[in-house]
Structure 1
Amino acid sequence: MKKYIIYGSFAAMGILSSVSCTKNITDLNTDPTKPSAVSSSALYASATKEMADAITSTNVNLGIFRLIVQQWTETTYIDESNYNLVTRTIPDNFWDAFYTDALMDLKEAKKVLEADVNTDATVKKNMLAQIDVMSVYGTSVLVNTFGNVPYSQSLNSDSLFNKYDDAHTIYTDLIARLNADLANFDESAAGMGASNMLFSSDEIVNWKKFTNSLKLRLGILLADVDPATAQTIVTEASAGAFDTQGEYAKFPYSTIPPNTNPLWEDLVQSGRQDFVGSNTFVDYINSVEDPRRPFYFTTIGGIYKGGTNGVKSPYANYSHPGSLLEKKDLPGVFIDYSEVEFIRAEAVERGWAVGGTAMTHYNNAITNSILYWGGTEEDALTYLARPDVNYLTAAGDWKQKIGMQEWIALYNRGFDAWTAQRHLDYPQLVPPPKAQSGYPVRFTYPIAQQNLNTENYNQAASAIGGDAAETKLFWDKF
């Protein structure tokens, strides 16, 4: 059954209800737990939470991205660390989380809002733009997960047989939609209010920065497949994207279930001990004496120690996710200043006019991450002075320098770390010895699509070069 979660404020989230006596027996035919009409803001808030949950969760039925990028590994049940996507129908669950639980709600939110004659026209325009930005975000996640997906015919409840659209064509339309949303935003008016979810205030200036940051992310992913277009998009978006330390678009989880961070549910509430740090990640951050280690992991015998990927790694023997990750109300991050600054560093290296130097943007990105996790300015300065971290002396070309540090900064943002790793090709991750595929650069299509939408599935699989985890997405050229 579909759940609608209605948020009252950032301080307290809940549902208020009232009961009265009635003599009208027909009221007995009304189920009080099922609202006859749901507001556009409630639908929007529900969709936003669904997407935040999907990218934040570490549930092995859904969010295995920390395992894919080898930041974590498993203790007992190691199928997901070995890239088994099928047994738990992980692609099906992720697909449904976005299409059924999020994008369908956003479509309905738009429909309800467009029919609303009571909302001020300028406020409505802002609200519609906010709904569309989140729809673009959700669609981009699906494209970056699967490749070609249903788009022009998606969210059609009248048909199970929706055709798949070319991923590059979808990207082009998504960017056009973001440009339209930016043009429609009016900073003189409000929008979703407290239901905007991503910012502590509903100032449209924050939404414009978020929209430009999302546009920047999409633009940089086109750099290797369509560099001229990518340059235009990135230079346009950079000027309006996050530009200040501490800027984030993040979901405000609560300490009150069911609105807690899914990580708390997976790591604490479940009572399970399924995850430890991966030696791939832990060994690297040990080698550079990263100041975020105390926040990322616990110690074992006074040291940070990771388990071997794809091999059973007893919980008691290896470093566990740090206590910050067990907070009920740890926010779920959609995009932040660090990610934006890493993109700007890359843009400078590609010769694109975003201002500043690659080193400055790189330093800003790392410093912002260290401060976010609880480190100090001094920690950041000391870290950036290390020869193996300093942009002038660190190993490799710019892709390696940026890629390795972005992998660290995107800890606890497994999906975004996976996207960045596929784009920059660093770190160069080796599949475990018993992996069921090569390194996965996409999810295979859902089994339900293969069985129920067979003709369109076959066409899509053929168009992308085969429905395999190793089939690269259109923007992943190298």
Structure 2
Amino acid sequence: MKKIYLIVMLLIGISISCTDKFEEYNTDEKNPVEVPGDFVFANAQKALADQVASTNVNENIWKLIAQYWTETTYTDEANYDIVNRTIPDIVFRTYYRDILADFKNAKEVISGEPAAGDEAVNAKANKLLIIDMCNAYCYQRLVNIFGNVPYNDALDIDNILPSYDNGNDIYRDLISKTQAAVDGLNPDYGSFGANDLYFGGDVAMWIKFGNSLLVKMGITMADVDGAFAASVVEGAYQGAFAPTERCELVYLGGSNSNPLYVDLVQSGRHDFVAANTLVDKMNDLEDPRRTAYFAENLGSGVFDGGVYGESSPFANYTHIADPIQEADFPMTLLDGIEVQFYLAEAAARGYGVSGSAEGYYNSAITASFLYWGLNADQAAAYAAKPAVAYDAANWQQSIGEQAWIAFYLRGLVAWTSYRRLDAPALNIPPAGQTEDGDVPRRFTYPINEQTLNAANYQAAIQLLSPAEDKMITKVFWDKN
């Protein structure tokens, strides 16, 4: 990701943010302003990265659901209360209004912009395909959160009551569109240049992103349609991210700070400590990444996580590592660590990927160690421990546990992995608000959808199995 011009792009982006109502979206009849599509795209990228990074309990509680962190005083969210703060409503609004609407607007504006000459024509084509992949990334997250969501009717300003599409159908269409984008991108030409906040306009990296996303979506469908999943993964894995490559936004600090800094430092609040679920496991494994994940505020080499879901006084438990709380800490959206774990799973399932499950598993661990400032020798020693070494007979447990540790800070990714592989074992909080008190399998639909879009909401429920809008109802790919 290139830092160049980020401040300028974001300042311009302020003027193009969406309104609260779809029918007023980016419309000022008295003072119409033509905003270049590249700037709208950059604004959408920033909004997406902010949503992924945020730990604001009003909109992103997946670091809690994954049991990486727990709360110090107000423990509602750690006990899976998503209703009190209308979290599903805010997630819906953020993705559809603030992110996907801007990607849609960017595509419409760019489509109408003139392009003369071979370079401009091909760069324009690349831009439109990159936006398609960004849309796919967003929609697969929405499906992973809710299940069936508005897709074909979404973002239509003439239809403010969209119907819902089956999550399985959405995934297949996202895979088709992402594959078409990968096939259509031409790395011999440019794209967004410095207006691309993730890759600085590097089309070759966008191709790797697309292939990595295909691997991710393909393996997610493994228990639904194994043959289809295998074909997707096998067709994409060789063009995906290398173990140390990633898609990230590097924040600049100041007014363009990582939301983690805003939530944990700038706010002056002390709402979170490390959760005992993760800390205890890493202590048991003597995991060297503890010093990168956590502060040593209790003493050198001392790590004590707050009991998940219980009130955990800030002064008594291990804090989040200081570097993670820096204003310029980068936010990863997708990386080679994820890809390596997915390929380990693919190999374990017998897919036609070169390399062994153990090899990919160890590669993922090594890449994680390198990212957090450790070295390959430390990773090798760690992977050789009996409690860490890959166990082919229990591959779900091996991959699930180590992926969960390595996906630290990416709570939704970790929660999705947990639901698919049923590993590792997570704690049951004392006052869990799910119907069975255990870890949620999905978010219930927004209250606004239940009341304002009631007919389509009821139809969406009928697409669930069982047809119940509950947190224990599983997303279509969750078959275990």
Task: Name the TM-score, length of structure 1 as normaliser.
Answer: 0.92
The residue number in structure 2 matching 1:475 is 477
The residue number in structure 2 matching 1:170 is 170
The residue number in structure 1 matching 2:450 is 450
SS of the counterpart of 1:154? coil
Q: Once structures 1 and 2 are overlaid, which stretch shifts more, 282-291 or 382-391?
A: 382-391
SS of the counterpart of 2:427? coil
Is residue 198 of structure 1 aligned with residue 198 of structure 2?
Answer: yes
SS of the counterpart of 2:479? coil
Is residue 261 of structure 1 aligned with residue 263 of structure 2?
Answer: no
Question: Percent identity, aligned pairs only?
Answer: 44
Q: CA 1:11/1:360 → structure 2, altered by over 3 Å: closer, same or farther? A: farther
5 Å-filtered alignment, 1:30-429, equals: 36-118=33-115, 120-199=120-199, 201-243=200-242, 245-257=243-255, 259-299=256-296, 300-302=298-300, 303-392=302-391, 397-429=394-426
Q: Give the aligned residue type for 1:51.
A: L
SS of the counterpart of 2:333? strand
Q: CA 1:11/1:372 → structure 2, altered by over 3 Å: closer, same or farther? A: farther
Q: Shift in Å at residue 8 of structure 1?
A: 5.7
Deviations 1:84-109 (A, max 9, x none): 00111111111111100010111111
Q: Shift in Å at residue 392 of structure 1?
A: 4.7
Q: Shift in Å at residue 428 of structure 1?
A: 2.2
* Counterpart among 399, 415, 432 of residue 429 in structure 2: 432
Q: CA 1:367/1:12 → structure 2, altered by over 3 Å: closer, same or farther? A: farther
For residues 330 and 13 of structure 1, the distance between their equivalents in structure 2, rounded to whole angstroms, comes to 19
Q: Shift in Å at residue 143 of structure 1?
A: 0.8
SS of the counterpart of 1:124? helix
Q: Shift in Å at residue 14 of structure 1?
A: 5.6
SS of the counterpart of 1:249? strand
Deviations 1:146-201 (A, max 9, x none): 011111100012222110011111111101101110121011100111122212x4
For residues 65 and 351 of structure 2, the distance between their equivalents in structure 1, rounded to whole angstroms, comes to 31
Q: Give the aligned residue type for 1:292.
A: R
SS of the counterpart of 1:333? strand
For residues 167 and 14 of structure 1, the distance between their equivalents in structure 2, rounded to whole angstroms, comes to 33
Q: Shift in Å at residue 430 of structure 1?
A: 3.4
Conserved? CA contact 2:341–2:364, under 8 Å: yes
For residues 53 and 441 of structure 2, the distance between their equivalents in structure 1, rounded to whole angstroms, comes to 19
Q: Shift in Å at residue 202 of structure 1?
A: 2.2
For residues 35 and 427 of structure 1, the distance between their equivalents in structure 2, rounded to whole angstroms, comes to 53
SS of the counterpart of 1:427? coil
The residue number in structure 2 matching 1:24 is none
Q: Give the aligned residue type for 1:380.
A: A
Instruction: Return 5+ residue gaps in structure 2 as ranges.
Output: 14-27
The residue number in structure 2 matching 1:20 is none
For residues 256 and 461 of structure 1, the distance between their equivalents in structure 2, rounded to whole angstroms, comes to 44
Deviations 1:4-53 (A, max 9, x none): xxx96258766489xxxxxxxxxxxxx9xx88111111111111111111
Q: CA 1:362/1:43 → structure 2, altered by over 3 Å: closer, same or farther? A: same
The residue number in structure 1 matching 2:24 is none
Q: Shift in Å at residue 377 of structure 1?
A: 2.0
The residue number in structure 2 matching 1:4 is none
SS of the counterpart of 2:158? coil
Q: CA 1:342/1:311 → structure 2, altered by over 3 Å: closer, same or farther? A: same
**Residue-pair matches, total:** 452
Q: Give the aligned residue type for 2:225.
A: D
SS of the counterpart of 2:43? helix
For residues 246 and 195 of structure 1, the distance between their equivalents in structure 2, rounded to whole angstroms, comes to 24
For residues 12 and 121 of structure 1, the distance between their equivalents in structure 2, rounded to whole angstroms, comes to 25
Deviations 1:286-336 (A, max 9, x none): 000111000111131341000111110000000011012111111111111
Conserved? CA contact 2:308–2:427, under 8 Å: no
Conserved? CA contact 1:56–1:263, under 8 Å: yes
Q: Give the aligned residue type for 2:98.
A: D
Is residue 459 of structure 1 aligned with residue 444 of structure 2?
Answer: no
Q: Shift in Å at residue 118 of structure 1?
A: 3.3
Instruction: Return 5+ residue gaps in structure 1 as ranges.
Output: 1-6, 18-30
For residues 280 and 343 of structure 2, the distance between their equivalents in structure 1, rounded to whole angstroms, comes to 28
For residues 310 and 171 of structure 1, the distance between their equivalents in structure 2, rounded to whole angstroms, comes to 33
Q: Give the aligned residue type for 1:254.
A: L
Conserved? CA contact 1:160–1:452, under 8 Å: no
For residues 380 and 139 of structure 2, the distance between their equivalents in structure 1, rounded to whole angstroms, comes to 38
Deviations 1:366-408 (A, max 9, x none): 1111111111222212211211112159xx7000000000000
Q: Once structures 1 and 2 are overlaid, which stretch shifts more, 403-412 or 321-330?
A: 321-330
Q: Give the aligned residue type for 2:362.
A: N
For residues 35 and 64 of structure 1, the distance between their equivalents in structure 2, rounded to whole angstroms, comes to 38
Q: CA 1:284/1:184 → structure 2, altered by over 3 Å: closer, same or farther? A: same
Conserved? CA contact 2:310–2:430, under 8 Å: no
For residues 237 and 195 of structure 1, the distance between their equivalents in structure 2, rounded to whole angstroms, comes to 27
The residue number in structure 1 matching 2:19 is none
Conserved? CA contact 1:283–1:306, under 8 Å: yes
Q: Shift in Å at residue 427 of structure 1?
A: 1.0
SS of the counterpart of 1:335? strand
Deviations 1:340-364 (A, max 9, x none): 0001101111111110111111111
Deviations 1:63-95 (A, max 9, x none): 100111111100000000000001111111111
Conserved? CA contact 1:190–1:202, under 8 Å: yes
Task: Name the TM-score, length of structure 2 as normaliser.
Answer: 0.91
Conserved? CA contact 1:13–1:254, under 8 Å: no
The residue number in structure 2 matching 1:9 is 5
For residues 360 and 188 of structure 2, the distance between their equivalents in structure 1, rounded to whole angstroms, comes to 31
Conserved? CA contact 2:51–2:60, under 8 Å: yes
Conserved? CA contact 2:71–2:309, under 8 Å: yes
